[in-house]
Amino acid sequence: MKRDLSLRVHIFVIAVLVILMGQSVYSWFNLRSFQASYIGALQEKTSRMGNFLREDIQNVLKMGIPLDAVSGLERSLARTLHDIPEAGFIEVVDADGYLLYRADPEGAKKMGPERQTGRFTTKPYARDLNRMGLTPEDTDIAIALQPGDRIAGYIHIHISGHLIQARSRQILWDMLTVMLTSLLLSFEFLTFFVIYYIRHPLDELRRDIAFRFSACEPVNPDKYRFLGNIGMLARYYNAVFHNYLGAFTPGSSALPDCAGKRNNLRQAVERQNANIREIDRKIKASMVSGLSPQDPESAAPRKLRSLLGEMQKQTQRLARTAGMTDGPARTPSIVTEANVAAQTIPASLIRPLIFLFIMADGFSLSFFPMFVDSMYEPVWGLSREMVMSLPMSAFMLILAISMPLAGSLSDSRGWYKPLIPGLVLNAAGHLLTALAQDITQLIVFRSMTAAGFGIVFICAQRFVIDNTSARSRAMGMSGFLAAFFSGDICGTVVGAMLAERIGYGPVFYVSALFSGLALFFLLAVFRGSFRPPRAGTAGDAGIAFSGYQLIRVFKDKEFLSTVWLQAVPAKLALVGFLFFFVPLYLNSIEAIQSNIGRVIMCYSICIIFIGPLVSWSFPQEHLRKYLVGAGGLLTAGAMLSFAFTSGFWALLIIVILLGVAQSISVPSQAAVISETAAVKEMGAGAGMGIYRFWERTGNVAGPLLMAFLIARLGYEKSVVALGGGILACSLLYLAVVAYSARNPNNT
């Protein structure tokens, strides 16, 4: 595990250095170029509006009216300033530079009889501009008023340097966001390429050599001929192996008593095989017919027969090694090449698929409530907030229903085949969402997207379970969640920036494209040595899924307490607060769309970096329940803090604390549930599917609950109320854990 972590760290460091060096230089030049072009565009716009004002004033001056006596010029200045929001102020001065009229954000007025010098002359803002990297030549525009042969005065327009700085800072944040996205993208795919082309072939060669050496056979060089130096290692092993046989065979045949000892050994092997067959016959005859493999009466005889068969194969291998048989080596049933390939698919190979798929879904996270609001129409007399929550709640409802069904499907058909229709259905849902015309269509198309999402999520999770051991499962789930939230980060921030530039609807076309890329990845990668096992070979298919199991699992008190006291409240916080409340609240305080995306992104960053670190630092199974409870308490504390302070920065801190809290609790939740008696009895696919179903009730209720609380309590108090409920659930969960630890027989 530490070697895997070290490999990922090295890959990430290399990616960081290469991408940061290249993009830092590019971003610096790009920022300078943008600032120059932006200033030029502002100057052109300001000059054009100033010329309109000049024409109006000059027409009045041509009538013989003095510049200091023009009636209504203050209103004209105010209108011009409104049309140029980038302008800090507008001044009209006489030919000598003395101020006559002035307009700024505080209003427009005509100056008194005292002679005042205009700000263009003194330029008190020059020092501030210098700190911003600007000069008065960048921000000051002077337009002469010349109705005849002489200049009557000037119009002075000052462009706000703070606005230029804010816009440049916004572009800089966008560039940094793109750099982070590039890092995450590079990390995911560099990790994939290292695993696919280096680590897995080396592991496969190592196992192949160990297997072939024990059977005294060379490896198949054709299997590795396209792998460069790895193929050279296979050929080197074969050369050493043939040299070994060439040195051993002549020497053994030259020994004078070798033939006799070989004959004695052959007779011993034959007697051993005869004894094994006789014992196996007696055990088989004594077995009770009609018993299922799960019955205790049949378990012991079956185990004995399996051990006898293994003993016989080892005896034949000994005979083969000693050269007493010319037939092909018999391969033990427990270690075949097919099983080695099937049981050792690296769990990290699913990460790029999850990354692309979740990125597609994440494109709309930062603006989806506003997208629904753009289609708002009264429905069933519900409040506007409740109507806005309906498509998201419908999505979560269908997602919850699809997960146990997908889990049962993955048990019967394997994880691979259901992924294909799941990805197709999800891509079609994104495509149709872009074409939706009203709330009803939006609910239907988002439900279609959710059904595909549920299938893909459960099957990908089943892939991780099938390819990790019980001890490494928390780490595998953390890697799964890291890929999940890497895609979530990239999708959220890129979707926010796209929405600012192309609008809400077209972003869903991009989502459909990325779901299609995930499907292409699935078909291209999982073939050959990565071909999935046939359905039913996972070994834990469990019992067939039925609707009754949705309720029966709650006989397991550990399953019951984890779901209702931690998993559901965690999803209420995630979907109700983060995905529904945060965009609406930030939009209400006029935060720009890309900043909304960056706030939501902070949650995913915490999941990516803190989640695997916690799982790696605390692998002990007995600590997982306490980590779950600690995450719930931290979530509650973060939300309760909104009672004392609110606003953009307060909300950002809450989102970060929520990310830290769920980094601690969410991976441990999945690990705790996977080890419960209910899941072990049903099978990993169906059991985890039912867990995800009940967990997703928090997703369904989250937007509806927050919409209800916002309508009744307002923004700030609704967050505090949710935090209070999560605090009560977390304290009760820890009490249940403590009681179970003291009374293990009552759980």
Per residue in 370-397, pLDDT tens? 888 888 887 777 778 888 888 888 888 8
In this prediction, residue 263 carries a pLDDT of 67
In this prediction, residue 91 carries a pLDDT of 87
In this prediction, residue 474 carries a pLDDT of 65
Please tell me the distance from the alpha carbon of residue 722 to that of residue 707, in angstroms, as a whole number: 12
- pLDDT, one tens digit per residue, over 402-449 is 877 887 777 777 788 888 899 999 999 999 999 988 888 999 999 999
Query: Residue 216 above 70 pLDDT?
Result: no
pLDDT band at 229 (very low <50, low <70, confident <90, very high): low
Please tell me the distance from the alpha carbon of residue 143 to that of residue 151, in angstroms, as a whole number: 11
Q: What percent of the chain has pLDDT over 90?
A: 10
Distances (CA, A) of 275 to 73, 281, 308, 567, 606: 116, 10, 10, 57, 62
Burial class (CB in 10 A: 0-12, 13-18, 19+), 222: exposed
In this prediction, residue 65 carries a pLDDT of 84
Q: Considering all CA atoms of the chain, what is the largest pairwise distance in Å, rounded to the nearest integer? A: 135
In this prediction, residue 306 carries a pLDDT of 72
Query: Residue 636 above 60 pLDDT?
Result: yes
- SS3 state of residue 154: strand
Please tell me the distance from the alpha carbon of residue 640 to that of residue 718, in angstroms, as a whole number: 10
For the segment 600-625, the average pLDDT, to the nearest whole number, is 75
Are 668 and 624 a contacting pair, CB within 8 Å? Answer: yes
Region of poorest pLDDT, from 225-239, 536-550, 637-651? 536-550
In this prediction, residue 673 carries a pLDDT of 84
Which of 80-84, 196-200, 594-598, 631-635 is most confident?
631-635
Distances (CA, A) of 305 to 268, 280, 339, 353: 21, 6, 21, 42
Query: Residue 256 above 60 pLDDT?
Result: no
- Of 136, 137, 94, which Cα lies nearest the Cα of 116? 94
HEC sequence for 393-423: HHHHHHHHHHHHHHHHHHHHHCCHHHHHHHH
DSSP E strands in 146-214: the ranges are 153-159
In this prediction, residue 622 carries a pLDDT of 67
Please tell me the distance from the alpha carbon of residue 15 to that of residue 67, in angstroms, as a whole number: 65
- DSSP, res 142: E
Of residues 539 and 615, the one with the higher pLDDT is 615
Of residues 54 and 742, the one with the higher pLDDT is 54
Query: Residue 296 above 60 pLDDT?
Result: no
Which of 49-53, 597-601, 630-634 is most confident?
630-634
Region of poorest pLDDT, from 92-106, 135-149, 528-542, 681-695? 528-542
- pLDDT, one tens digit per residue, over 230-255 is 666 776 767 776 666 555 454 444 44
Query: Residue 228 above 90 pLDDT?
Result: no
Of residues 197 and 591, the one with the higher pLDDT is 591
For the segment 559-588, the average pLDDT, to the nearest whole number, is 88
For the segment 219-228, the average pLDDT, to the nearest whole number, is 64
Please tell me the distance from the alpha carbon of residue 159 to that of residue 141, in angstroms, as a whole number: 8
For the chain, which domains are there? Answer: 2-167 (3.30.450.20), 223-251 (no CATH), 345-530+548-746 (1.20.1250.20)
User: If residue 89 lies in a helix (H) or strand (E), which one and from where to where?
Assistant: strand 87-94
In this prediction, residue 429 carries a pLDDT of 93
- Bridge partners (DSSP) of residue 110 are 101
In this prediction, residue 222 carries a pLDDT of 65
Distances (CA, A) of 722 to 503, 700, 702: 32, 15, 10
For the segment 272-277, the average pLDDT, to the nearest whole number, is 76
In this prediction, residue 537 carries a pLDDT of 42
pLDDT band at 2 (very low <50, low <70, confident <90, very high): very low
Of residues 391 and 529, the one with the higher pLDDT is 391
Q: What percent of the chain has pLDDT over 70?
A: 77
- Of 410, 372, 407, 412, which Cα lies nearest the Cα of 392? 372
For the segment 641-651, the average pLDDT, to the nearest whole number, is 89
In this prediction, residue 251 carries a pLDDT of 46
- pLDDT, one tens digit per residue, over 162-208 is 887 777 777 777 777 777 777 777 777 777 777 777 776 777 777 77
In this prediction, residue 214 carries a pLDDT of 60
Query: Six-digit token pair at 556?
Result: 């397991």
pLDDT band at 634 (very low <50, low <70, confident <90, very high): very high
How much is the mean pLDDT over the chain? 77
Which of 80-84, 502-506, 530-534, 670-674 is most confident?
502-506
In this prediction, residue 597 carries a pLDDT of 82
HEC sequence for 132-172: CCCCHHHHEEEEEECCCCCCCEEEEEEECHHHHHHHHHHHH
Count how many Cα atoms sit within 13 Å of the Cα of residue 290 in the half-sphere of its side chain: 0
In this prediction, residue 744 carries a pLDDT of 66
- pLDDT, one tens digit per residue, over 69-106 is 888 888 888 888 888 888 888 888 888 878 888 888 88
In this prediction, residue 720 carries a pLDDT of 92
Of residues 71 and 220, the one with the higher pLDDT is 71
For the segment 497-519, the average pLDDT, to the nearest whole number, is 89
In this prediction, residue 449 carries a pLDDT of 92
In this prediction, residue 433 carries a pLDDT of 92
